[in-house]
Amino acid sequence: MYNAIDLFAGIGGIRIGFEQAFKNDINFVFSSEIDKYARKTYEANFHEIPYGDITKIDEKDIPAHDIVLAGFPCQAFSVAGKKLGFKDTRGTLFFEVARIVRYHKPKVVFLENVKGFIRHDKGNTFKVVKNTLESLGYKVFAQVLNSRDFGLPQNRERVYIVCFLEHSINFEFPKPFCHNVKVGDILLSEVDDKYTISDKLWEGHQRRKKEHRAKGNGFGYRLFDENSSYTSTLSARYYKDGSEILIAQENKNPRKITPREAARLQGFDDTFIIPVSDAQSYKQFGNSVSVPVIRAIAKEIAKHLFLYAKTDKKLHRKFVCITKSDELNNKRLLL
């Protein structure tokens, strides 16, 4: 059994992926999330209220654990933001993870962030993170993976960082697997008319796209239908106008995806409870992770942990046998 903690937990997407991969061999002993609406969703699904601001929690008060999960805030590194990185207070929250890791020395540290994080400041931001983790004694592995390669109809690239305290582990990220999926797989058969965008909003979307096209860039609304292979990336700002993912409708204006469809687009199953408003739901799923990607990585982590534990146990038994044999030989010599 491995004890785990869930930092910057959001609505628990990373936790779900690890629970699915480790099955009954993982136990969550602590979680932390500052957003009150995300905490409400987390509580509804995991029956526990995450602690609040991690900067105000002493690392000594966090229970001992083997695995740290942390999808630390990505806005500071996102191409959609100002890309300030560690100059942004949100960017410095990685060092809260480092503070906790330094004290507890867990077996595994798992981090997730936007793809832009790896290139930010000509790679220096990632270098600081990697060097910090290595200075704490960890072997660091990192790779960018796309959700559309793991059975979801969404083009969503994220960087995943996996760190092991045991340096003999040679981790490999899961290989993409082909799934014949399409956008229609996540769409509901019946949708309330309130998700159909108004004439005014649709006219505005079309006008702005035309203006962007005249300037030679590709910005503007994105239209999909049930036969599309995948959507663009669902973002936390989706609640504003839905422009990045609009679903075509016959003889109607396009519509936004519903919160349940947003959940499905991220790989949350239909048992996942959505107790908040549509606006908050869009923010939460846009800020969350693609569960199937997390599950695939977590399965590889579990495989290495279980294999190492088994090998370590054999070595321990061998060491004990050798020690006992030496003791017997010494006794014979003394006689």
Q: Which residues are catalytic?
A: 74
Instruction: Please count the other Cβ atoms lying within 10 Å of the Cβ belonging to residue 213.
Output: 12
Give the 3-state secondary structure of residue 44: helix
**Starting at the edge strand that comes first in sequence, how are the strands of the sheet with 26-31 ordered?**
26-31, 2-7, 67-70, 108-114, 157-164, 139-146
If DSSP codes are grouped into helix, strand and coil, which group holds residue 246? strand
**What is d(CA 247, CA 231) in angstroms, rounded to the nearest whole number?**
10
Kindly report the number of other CB atoms within 10 A of residue 83's CB atom: 20
Q: What is the rounded distance in angstroms from the CA atom of residue 215 to the CA atom of residue 209?
A: 10
Strand 157-164 relative to strand 108-114, pairing = antiparallel
The Cα–Cα gap between 177 and 184 comes to: 19
Distances (CA, A) of 332 to 55, 321, 328: 61, 17, 6
